[in-house]
Structure 1
Amino acid sequence: MPAQPLDTKTVTALVSDASAAPSMHNAQPWKFRFLRADRTFHVRSDPERTMPHADPTNRALHIGCGAALFNLRVAAAHAGWEPTTRLLPDPADPELLATVELAEPVRPETDLATLHPAIHRRHTSRHPFSEEDIPQAIQDTLSGAALREGARLLFPAEWHAESVLDLVHDAEGRDSLDPSQFQDIVRWTRIGADITATPADGIPDYAFGPRKRGGKAPVRDFAGRRPMPGREVATFESKPQLALLGTTGDRPEDWLTAGQALERVLLEATLDGLATSLTSHALEWPELRWAVRDPQSAMGFVQMVLRLGYGEQGVATPRRPVGDVLEIEP
């Protein structure tokens, strides 16, 4: 397929695809600038969309922007362009997270375009999954997807999974004792009239999923103690199938790498018919995060905990208008 012309319509479509990425509390902490003369996108962070309580180091912000960067690469390949990416290209400008140059047609060996159908099908599911095991072949495919982006995906042994669930439960208890930990959630969740008032970002109440009556799935209850009349109640998995995504280092470049690997895994999982959800709950407490990893593994730092399985797919959550996140320069 010939490369599509990089006119305003195409550039807007590429950023629309990029913005379908997941981010902490759906804050969408990214901006894009397209330099038409250079055929280059600048991917930037949006400092107004940080999480001072849950993400004081901006680790999750970088992971979300990394996921959006990966979607941009997939969309560019689908449009016929080879995306040449540089991470953190300017030390003097830390908000410039990456550049993506579209200087030549996509190479035959680039397989990113095959993931494009999953971009707008992928949604976080906060519903129960079945107890059906994920086949080993699919686990291997997902682990390989992470590895291709420079990260690792580990499916923990039963003892390790139980330990991770205990740490998530510990984080929930710590949150309940520290009201400030709920401030970011209040800012980025929309209940009732708030959905109509601020429809472009955050997590609307229809995406909260049912309240958990039983089971061990690590699904955060975004309602907290706020009333939600008529909300369903459900029993979740007794043995949730978890995966840990991690990197060797723990610097901003590693977080961007983790975000790209995360989105590649999520898109692959979507194409394989899996429902997916994410939790960073135990990772938000430094004294818990170190205990999430398996000390015998080669994974240096866990960046995200994934829950995978067969079940109801999640619903689409709002996205900011492309005009709010994209600037096109001559």
Structure 2
Amino acid sequence: MSIRSPKRALDAAVEAGRWAPSVHNTQPWSFAVTGEEISLRADTSRKLPVSDAAGRELLISCGAALFTMSTAMRCEGYEPAVRILPDPDRPGLVATIRPGEELEADELTRVLGGEIERRRTHRAGFADVPLPDRLIESLARGAMREGAKLTPIRAPAAVHVLAALTQAAQGVQAQDERFSLELIRWSRPPGSTRTDGVPAEAYPREPVPTEPDFPQRRYSWRHGWGTRAEPAEVSTGVVAVVTTRGDGREEWIAAGQALQRVLLHASAHGVSAAFHTQALELDLLREFLRQELCSGEYPQMVMRLGVTFDSKDVPRRPLTDILE
């Protein structure tokens, strides 16, 4: 093992944090290092005021960054000492993290750490490759360790209901120009040098429907950017929902940590995720989903898991933009 150093652990955690997933790749966070402590802050200037007025998706994104930073710190030989929402007078302070006791990272932690920069979000169908039940069960156990629940939706009727809710939400949002304008704010044209948002190479111009169809965000709205979808990738994959018992800020952060654990573990097995949060952005549909499909728990993320042979680079903001 390499020589331990608190500074090295802090540097690794900050570098890793910027690779976390976020809604529309908004990367709504900033970091500040004071002594041997990192402050993870929510960047509310990057919040989606129409689709995420409460900041739920923003905090899920920050929770994903927190898990990423903790994993990097463990890989550097330290158990992270984390405080969630440590100061009620500073609501933008999501968490603080510092190197705690020394440890030897276990094999799974190192595997997760190795996927931080390799993990990618997918925005189309998947190849017709089945996922092992044992892998899905392992992903569910990992989510529970972070205080959330990952439930694969196995019943075909339930999958169709969830697809229909996604279609309904997409239809409603498509009729609301506010949603559409907010979405294309984060759509990047071909050749863009921006380091945030979704580049044209990372979304399809005209998605190929899956069966049942889980519609994609229309990042190509009104401009026709994007790539041609792979016709071989039309499988829905495994549909899953991340839920929590409560629905406050702590639960949203926990959902983000659980989500990133799932994504990194899945990535290590060649599995990617496609996200569908449209129905969760409309209160009536989210409540229906909670009561009818989630056993009363609060849905925080809807995703499809599957195998894709399409891997696109996604931009990340440089440290100079996010490190205070």
User: Is the TM-score greater than 0.5?
Assistant: yes
Partner of 1:285: 282
How far did residue 210 of structure 1 move?
4.8
Partner of 1:23: 22
**Residue 224 (1) aligns with residue 221 (2):** yes
Partner of 1:185: 183
Equivalent pair of 2:166/2:215 in contact (CA under 8 Å):
yes
How far did residue 218 of structure 1 move?
3.6
Partner of 1:11: 10
Between 213-222 and 20-29, report the one with greater CA deviation: 213-222
Q: Per the alignment, do residues 295 and 312 of structure 1 end up closer, same or farther by CA in structure 2, a change over 3 Å counting?
A: same
Equivalent pair of 1:27/1:202 in contact (CA under 8 Å):
yes
How far did residue 103 of structure 1 move?
2.9
How far did residue 40 of structure 1 move?
1.6
Partner of 1:163: 161
Instruction: Summarize the alignment of residues 168-317 of structure 1 with structure 2, pairs less than 5 Å apart.
Output: 168-192=166-190, 195-196=192-193, 199-215=194-210, 216-228=213-225, 231-235=227-231, 237=234, 239-293=236-290, 295=292, 297-298=294-295, 300-317=297-314
In 2, Cα distance between the equivalents of 1:87 and 1:240? 34
How far did residue 140 of structure 1 move?
0.3
Equivalent pair of 1:3/1:105 in contact (CA under 8 Å):
no
Between 115-124 and 236-245, report the one with greater CA deviation: 236-245
Between 65-74 and 310-319, report the one with greater CA deviation: 310-319
For the residue of structure 2 that corresponds to 1:142, the secondary structure is: helix
How far did residue 106 of structure 1 move?
2.4
How far did residue 316 of structure 1 move?
2.1
**Residue 84 (1) aligns with residue 112 (2):** no
How far did residue 2 of structure 1 move?
5.3
RMSD over aligned CA atoms reads 2.1
**Residue 35 (1) aligns with residue 38 (2):** no
How far did residue 34 of structure 1 move?
1.5
Equivalent pair of 2:26/2:46 in contact (CA under 8 Å):
yes
Given residue 255 of structure 2, which amino acid in structure 1 is its aligned partner?
A
Between 175-184 and 218-227, report the one with greater CA deviation: 218-227
In 1, Cα distance between the equivalents of 2:302 and 2:292? 16
Equivalent pair of 2:75/2:105 in contact (CA under 8 Å):
no
Of 111, 116, 119, the match for 1:122: 119
What is the CA deviation profile of residues 117-149 of structure 1, one whole-angstrom value per residue up to 9, with x for unaligned ones? 111110111233123321110110111110111
In 2, Cα distance between the equivalents of 1:104 and 1:61? 30
Instruction: Summarize the alignment of residues 88-99 of structure 1 with structure 2, pairs less than 5 Å apart.
Output: 88-99=85-96
Given residue 24 of structure 2, which amino acid in structure 1 is its aligned partner?
H
What is the CA deviation profile of residues 29-56 of structure 1, one whole-angstrom value per residue up to 9, with x for unaligned ones? 01111121xx221111012111101110
- Paired residues, number: 320
Given residue 187 of structure 1, which amino acid in structure 2 is its aligned partner?
R
For the residue of structure 2 that corresponds to 1:82, the secondary structure is: strand
TM-score of the superposition, structure 2-length normalised?
0.92
How far did residue 239 of structure 1 move?
4.2
How far did residue 281 of structure 1 move?
1.1
Structure 1 runs of 4+ aligned residues shifted over 6 Å read none
**Residue 47 (1) aligns with residue 44 (2):** yes
In 1, Cα distance between the equivalents of 2:40 and 2:188? 27
Q: Per the alignment, do residues 40 and 298 of structure 1 end up closer, same or farther by CA in structure 2, a change over 3 Å counting?
A: farther
In 2, Cα distance between the equivalents of 1:144 and 1:162? 25
In 1, Cα distance between the equivalents of 2:188 and 2:132? 37
What is the CA deviation profile of residues 208-254 of structure 1, one whole-angstrom value per residue up to 9, with x for unaligned ones? 135224322442221123223x8424545354421000100100100
